[in-house]
């Protein structure tokens, strides 16, 4: 949909982009974590697999990406998928070899 809409709307000067968060501590994420037998252990397992800093992405970091895409500072960016996720989805090769 991102690319179809971006293609359809480019002649109208409208840009369409997608932001794809991965591991962000939100109220719903917190609730999901608490449903696990060992929430602290589950969180540690997840953060260990996030190359940049072994930490969760903050909601502010997602908001900064979205607001940048809404602004003229990204005026020639359209039809893109952005992954502000500390490398979680694409960079597992950056993890220590134990992973």
Question: Cβ of residue 50: shortest distance to other proteins, in angstroms?
Answer: 13
Q: How far apart are CA 46 and CA 49, in angstroms?
A: 5
Task: Report the 10 Å Cβ neighbour count for 16.
Answer: 18
Question: Cβ of residue 17: shortest distance to other proteins, in angstroms?
Answer: 5
Q: How far apart are CA 1 and CA 88, in angstroms?
A: 23
| DSSP symbol at 91 | -
Q: Which residues bind other proteins (CB under 8 A)?
A: 1-2, 5, 9-29, 32, 58-60, 62-64, 66-73, 75-76, 78
If the CB atoms of residues 73 and 93 are measured against other proteins, the closer one turns out to be 73
Q: How far apart are CA 68 and CA 14, in angstroms?
A: 15
If the CB atoms of residues 73 and 97 are measured against other proteins, the closer one turns out to be 73
If the CB atoms of residues 4 and 99 are measured against other proteins, the closer one turns out to be 4
Q: How far apart are CA 33 and CA 39, in angstroms?
A: 5
If the CB atoms of residues 30 and 94 are measured against other proteins, the closer one turns out to be 30
């Amino acid at each position: 949909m991102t690319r179809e809409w971006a293609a359809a709307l480019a002649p109208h000067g409208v840009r369409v982009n997608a932001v794809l968060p991965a591991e962000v501590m939100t109220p719903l994420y917190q609730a999901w974590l608490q449903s696990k037998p060992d929430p602290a252990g589950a969180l540690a397992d997840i953060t260990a697999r996030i190359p940049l800093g072994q930490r969760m992405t903050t909601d502010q970091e997602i908001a900064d990406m979205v607001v940048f895409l809404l602004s003229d500072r990204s005026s020639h960016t359209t039809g893109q998928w952005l992954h502000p996720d500390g490398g979680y989805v694409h960079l597992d090769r950056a993890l220590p070899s134990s992973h």
